[in-house]
Amino acid sequence: MKLSRVLGHVVLSRAIEPYRDKTLHMIQDVDAALKGVGEAEVSVTWQAMKEGDLVVVEVSREACNAFDTTIPADAVIIGRADHVCIENSTHRNG
Amino acid sequence: MRVCTVVGTVVSTEHHPALGGKKILVVDDGDGGASGVQLAVDAVGAGSGCRVLVSDSGAAGSDVTGLQYPPLRSVVVGIIDESTADESTAT
C-alpha cells in the first residue's frame, strides 16, 4: 500500500462492464514531506474523494477485490487519510 | 518479505470495510523514499521505531482482515528483535 494525493478525476466515455459506475481518480505518490513524487497515475476508488485528499492506495492484484464483483484493476483507493504522522512531522488532510 | 522500520502512522476514518479497526503504519524499507510513502497494516502491535517484517502476500491480507479476498496485501507480520544478515541485501 502507499500514500498518494488525489490530483483530479478521470471520466471514461466507453468502458468495459466492471468499470461502469466506478469513479476513477488521477493520483500521485507523495514522499515523507507529502510532496508529490513520480508520475501521475489512474486509480479506481472505493469511494469518491476530493482533489487534494491524501489517500491510502493499494497497488497490487488484490486491488481487484475492493468491490462486490471483481474488477480488473491494479490500483484502488481504499481509504482517506485524515491524519498522517511520519517521525517528527504531523500532517492533517484538508 | 521486506525488513522495514516503522516511521509513522496514518489515521483513516473513511475507509474500505477491510481496513476497519486496523492500524495503518508508515514503513521505510530503506529505498530512500524513492517510491514514495509505503504503508502496511499492522497485525502485531508494532510501534514507531520498530524493525518489522512486512509480507506482501494476499494470504497475509486475508489473515489480518479475515476476508477470503481482501483488497490489500501489505501486512506487518512480525517485529524483529535480532537479525544477523546484512539487511541491505535482503529482499
Report how far apart, in Å, the C-alpha atoms of A77 and of each of A6, A62, A84, B53 are.
Answer: 10, 12, 16, 24
Residue A93 has pLDDT above 80, yes or no: no
Q: List pLDDT tens digits, range A13-67.
A: 999 999 988 999 999 999 999 999 999 999 999 999 999 999 999 999 999 999 9
Name the one residue in this structure whose C-alpha cell is 510501534.
B47
| Whole-number pLDDT of residue B86 | 64
B5's grid cell: 522500520
Give the residue from B19, B29, B38, B39 with the most A CB atoms within 10 Å of its CB, the best one to mutate: B39
ipTM over 0.95: no
Q: CA-to-CA distance for A10 and B53, rounded, in angstroms? A: 36
| Whole-number pLDDT of residue A53 | 96
Q: CA-to-CA distance for B37 and B29, rounded, in angstroms? A: 10
* Contact check, Cβ <8 Å, A82/B41: no
Q: CA-to-CA distance for A19 and A25, rounded, in angstroms? A: 13
The mean pLDDT of B2-24, rounded to a whole number, is 95
Residue A94 has pLDDT above 80, yes or no: no
Q: Nearest chain B Cα to A89, which residue?
A: B8
Q: List pLDDT tens digits, range B30-81.
A: 877 677 999 999 999 999 999 999 999 889 999 999 999 999 999 999 999 9
Entry pTM:
0.88
The C-alpha angle A62, B65, B31, rounded to 5 degrees, equals 55
DSSP for residue B23: P
**Longest C-alpha distance within chain B, in Å?**
41
CB-closest option in A1, A32, A85 to B39: A1
The C-alpha angle B86, B87, B88, rounded to 5 degrees, equals 95
